[in-house]
Structure 1
Amino acid sequence: MNWWRGAAIYQVYPRSFADGNGDGIGDLAGLRQKLPHLAELGVDAIWLSPWYPSPMADGGYDVADYRDIEPVFGTLVEAEKFIAEAHGAGLRVIIDIVPNHCSDRHPWFQEALRGQGRDRFWFHDGDFPPNDWKSRFGGPAWSRTPDGKSWYLHLYSPEQPDLNWTNPRVRAEFESILRFWLDRGVDGFRIDVADGLVKDFTRPDADTPYSDQDGVHEIYRSWRRVLDEYPDERVFVGEMWLPDPARFALYLRPDELHSAFNFDFLCCPWDPAELRRVIDGTLAAHAPVGAPPTWVLSNHDVTRHVSRMGRADTSFDFGRRQHLTPTDLELGRRRARAAIMLTTALPGCVYLYQGEELGLEEVDDLPDELRQDPVWERSGHTDRGRDGCRVPIPWGEDGPSWLPRPEHWRSLSVAAQSGDPGSMLAHYRNVLALRRAEPSLGDGPMEWLDLGPGVVAFGRGDDFACVLNLSDGPVALPAHDGVLLTSGPLDGTDLPPDTAAWLRRTR
């Protein structure tokens, strides 16, 4: 089986993973030191958020140089050593690529401001912008150039000008960037804003003509031809927030991307009917193109799921992040222990976000003056943004960090949880070890088991079952030959609410 069809992939947000030199910012030295943690956790690959030189106007997604490493993180030589050491530990490496936009400090944009190569971006001359497109970070998507003579398009912050993908030079440049990193051994790319590269200025604004235009598919077919020149199954995973499952599936045709993030599942509330609906919809959307589904609970852009699952409304929506909403963290962690058993038992591959193996919650109460997410400023301080899920994770003897850790995270650190068989960390290690050992898990078919409306249950292979109780009371387990793992203690022989079990089922 292709490794990526059933892999467990761990996301590293470099600034907040591990600090190797004591300056309060995560770096490659720290990441290399912590490779044993990831290997012991039991993941198959690491996905790194951008590690390129950047002014950090948007956490590194404003790239100033696609062929080097941000000096705060380390050097290109260190990156090459990290790739080799990760491979030596049995871990593949996927890196972010950001093709929709670059930094306003990128040499191309600086040249464009001087009148050279303006057609690599979207400029408009005149007293007013050509349309009223809105930035996804809030406010208008057009800003004046410093000389006041033109407007330029930025679907995100003004420091992130959109590239013009109708320009052959832009296309050739990114294929060269892909080769640069493939030659250094990376195993794949996560494509930021994969749906956004092509714009249609002739269509009405209501049609979101800056998202999911048909012309984007030829770009990815061209990229796939580059990738397929390399050995050892290099992969693409796309980031697309699309409402239409059929349009979503077009990106996953055999000559385009290998997989894409399943945000419907991430946003789904902790509700049995809704979970079954989203799982069925996900499987149905992927089946026609033969692509594996992906399952993810948290990432660097969304509220951590321990917090979401401890709230009255357990769904997620960018327009309603529910900052400072009353949260029962004990309930959230109980549900999170069950949720990882659900996601890792479903067909396909699973993504983990750094710190979820420790049961970390969203940090809602960061001091306003420390917030760095551009969403905070662009929204006029009405949206606290994404900094709360980007607080550096605790290892044990931690120094100061660029965003302050809550004091109680000391008890959630890797050091505090190591050796505790009841900890979240031990649970994740057990889940991932069993998933790797169980031949029925990963890619492949599943079948629903009917255990009542409040229970999500399904079988994998001939003798494996996952049972998740979302009802208000204990439920009887189906006939089985053994309990492989539970997310919490059983109630006698029954499964308590918000608890999951993996069973060796009787056929």
Structure 2
Amino acid sequence: MTSIPTAPARRTGPGWWRSAVVYQVYPRSFADGNGDGIGDLRGIRDRLDHLQWLGVDVLWISPVYPSPMADNGYDVSDYHDVDPTYGTLEELDGLIADLHERGMKLVMDLVANHTSDEHPWFIDSSSSPESEKRDWYWWRDEPNNWGSFFSGPAWTYCEGRAAYYMHLFAKKQPDLNWENPEVRHAVYDILRWWLDRGVDGFRMDVINLISKDPELPEAPVMPGQKYGNMRQSVIDGPRVHEYLAEMHREVFDKYDRDLLLVGETGETTVEEGRKYTDPDRRELDMVLHYEHVEIDHGAFKWDVRPFDLGRLRERLAAWQTGLADAGWNSLYWDNHDQPRIVSRYGDDGRWRTESAKLLATVLHLQRGTPFVYQGDEIGMTNYPFVSIDEVDDVEGVNYYHEAVAAGEDPEDVMRSLRAMCRDNGRTPMQWDDGPGAGFTTGDPWLAINPNHTEINVAAQKDDPDSVLSHYRRLIRLRHEDPVVVDGDFTLLDDVHPQLFAFRRRHESGELVVLANFSSEEAELGDLAQECRGEVALGAEGGPVLAPWEARVYRR
């Protein structure tokens, strides 16, 4: 076992983010600095030592803008301030300064596909058909048959306009009309305002939905569904690349410093991913796609299926090879919209520690920039929800009531929620084994996982065999070994029922990763010939991998 390093080494200059590690904080659940049970900016600033010790380079924070919190901040009512729940604009400026002093950067969440219905733009737009902002949102006298991503229809009637407005998500999240150049330039002004305050880039929420088919055609209705599936009219829409290129020209090209631009592009393809991230096109640096985190989805998200290693291996390899000569990959398992990966693709019982390490190893040693979501680094698990009354997430609550009303068994619906509900990734960060898990001295806004008494930062920090220590080693390896950043990717086996094996090769050497995705021993077979050279991570061993063992060879 290699020793735990003491400090990271960071790359700067153009393309600095290739060797960087990004850490995502969901502010509501990370650290509560004032004891009101809700995470805040003060709490984040108090925990920066943890991020620096871990070795991360970039902090991405989910929205802290003023919001009615219909979708926990992804419904913005003011893009130029901080919600009092989280603190003040001065405290955010202090966070930026604190990070820069430590040699780290801050990425803000940009939510520009939609606003809150309480944003002044929408209030104006909805007031009258003669409003100057009447075309800033999508309005129709009669709605089409589209359904919302959050269940129910994608249109809601507004008395003030005597018309329907589009909302691909919650009804309090009306979609902006990017066909209107005034809307685009208003968004660009927001970007400039934050960049001028010192922000180092943006993670752009559902950015591949900003361009819709302007004809708004009727959508096919899937069996058992009430509303039409609008995806073909909104995902990677007809002008999305044009809009992103314009955004780059109008905003980012004007700044003489290195920024990080990440787009959430759910349900996009490898081919579209190449377009988004090809540096010659000047759109984005990387995208957060969904293909590898939908392996356990059936016909839709709540149709939970068993984990399929073959599908995971195929999709990850497709993105590795597809973006090998143009663009760049993001590497992530969890975020605020995903359940905990160790409960999905790993074993959160007997083999929790081992499978959490394996999942980290497989992710961080691919070609791309890794994203660590708060709690990943200690192997946090899904929450044991029993009742819908324990669920806060608007998507999960809407689905439950719609499914039960349609005749589904409530316990079957809860079973799906326990597996897939977004609240699994939003339970408070587990810092120690105390009553508030070190997250708060008050009553937490969302229940803390009962297993925090065993799974927490304090219990793992001084343990060289812990998940936390393993993450630190992986981050150090990325910072120090050019193979991890610049090496190519080759899948070594595409049929083994238990193994994910791949090689990273660079002029400076190569790394071989062998990972057993099962609770049973795995015979390496022909791959045993790869067991040579120095063991960079893991334990020395022969032609058999133990349950959930990951071994990395350097040569």
Q: Please give the alpha-carbon distance, in whole angstroms, between the structure 1 residues aligned to 2:349 and 2:371.
A: 22
**1:80-114 deviations in whole A, cap 9, x for unaligned?**
11011111112111111011100011011112232
**1:442-485 deviations in whole A, cap 9, x for unaligned?**
24313344598343131333242222134642446534232121
1:217 matched residue in structure 2: 241
SS at 1:250 equivalent? helix
| 1:183 aligns with one of 196, 204, 219 | 196
| 1:468 aligns with one of 515, 522, 526 | 515
Contact map agreement 1:52 1:68 (CA 8 A) in 2: yes
1:459 matched residue in structure 2: 504
1:419 matched residue in structure 2: 462
Contact map agreement 2:20 2:479 (CA 8 A) in 1: no
User: Does residue 299 in structure 1 map to residue 335 in structure 2?
Assistant: yes
Contact map agreement 2:477 2:484 (CA 8 A) in 1: no
2:537 matched residue in structure 1: 485
Q: 1:405 to 1:275 in 2, by over 3 A?
A: same
In structure 2, give the amino acid aligned to 1:211: I
Q: Please give the alpha-carbon distance, in whole angstroms, between the structure 1 residues aligned to 2:263 and 2:494.
A: 35
1:387 matched residue in structure 2: 423
1:51 matched residue in structure 2: 64
1:432 matched residue in structure 2: 475
Q: After TM superposition, list the pairs within 5 Å mapping 1:107-506 onto structure 2.
A: 107-115=120-128, 116=131, 117-125=133-141, 129-147=142-160, 149-202=162-215, 203-206=217-220, 208-225=232-249, 226-254=251-279, 255-268=282-295, 273-287=310-324, 290-310=326-346, 328-365=348-385, 367-381=387-401, 382=403, 384=417, 385-396=421-432, 397=434, 398=438, 399=441, 400-449=443-492, 453=496, 454-455=498-499, 456-461=501-506, 462-470=509-517, 472-475=520-523, 477=528, 478-486=530-538, 494-505=544-555
2:408 matched residue in structure 1: none
Contact map agreement 1:391 1:404 (CA 8 A) in 2: yes
SS at 2:247 equivalent? helix
**1:190-239 deviations in whole A, cap 9, x for unaligned?**
11111111222424424621222121112111111211221231121111
Give the TM-score of the pair, scaled to structure 2. Answer: 0.82
SS at 1:111 equivalent? helix
In structure 2, give the amino acid aligned to 1:458: R
Give the TM-score of the pair, scaled to structure 1. Answer: 0.89
Contact map agreement 1:451 1:457 (CA 8 A) in 2: no
Q: Please give the alpha-carbon distance, in whole angstroms, between the structure 2 residues aligned to 1:331 and 1:298.
A: 19
Q: Please give the alpha-carbon distance, in whole angstroms, between the structure 2 residues aligned to 1:345 and 1:200.
A: 39
Contact map agreement 2:314 2:494 (CA 8 A) in 1: no
Contact map agreement 1:253 1:291 (CA 8 A) in 2: yes
Deviation at 1:243, TM superposition (A): 4.8
SS at 1:214 equivalent? coil
RMSD (Å), alpha carbons: 2.2
Q: Please give the alpha-carbon distance, in whole angstroms, between the structure 2 residues aligned to 1:435 and 1:76.
A: 34
Q: 1:145 to 1:339 in 2, by over 3 A?
A: same
Q: Please give the alpha-carbon distance, in whole angstroms, between the structure 2 residues aligned to 1:210 and 1:172.
A: 21
Contact map agreement 2:292 2:312 (CA 8 A) in 1: yes
Q: 1:408 to 1:3 in 2, by over 3 A?
A: same
Contact map agreement 1:344 1:442 (CA 8 A) in 2: no
Identity %: 38
Q: Please give the alpha-carbon distance, in whole angstroms, between the structure 2 residues aligned to 1:258 and 1:402.
A: 35
Moved more, 392-401 or 424-433: 392-401
SS at 1:118 equivalent? coil
Q: Please give the alpha-carbon distance, in whole angstroms, between the structure 2 residues aligned to 1:55 and 1:146.
A: 21
Q: 1:451 to 1:261 in 2, by over 3 A?
A: closer
Q: 1:176 to 1:497 in 2, by over 3 A?
A: same
Deviation at 1:366, TM superposition (A): 6.0
Q: Please give the alpha-carbon distance, in whole angstroms, between the structure 2 residues aligned to 1:496 and 1:310.
A: 14
Deviation at 1:352, TM superposition (A): 1.2
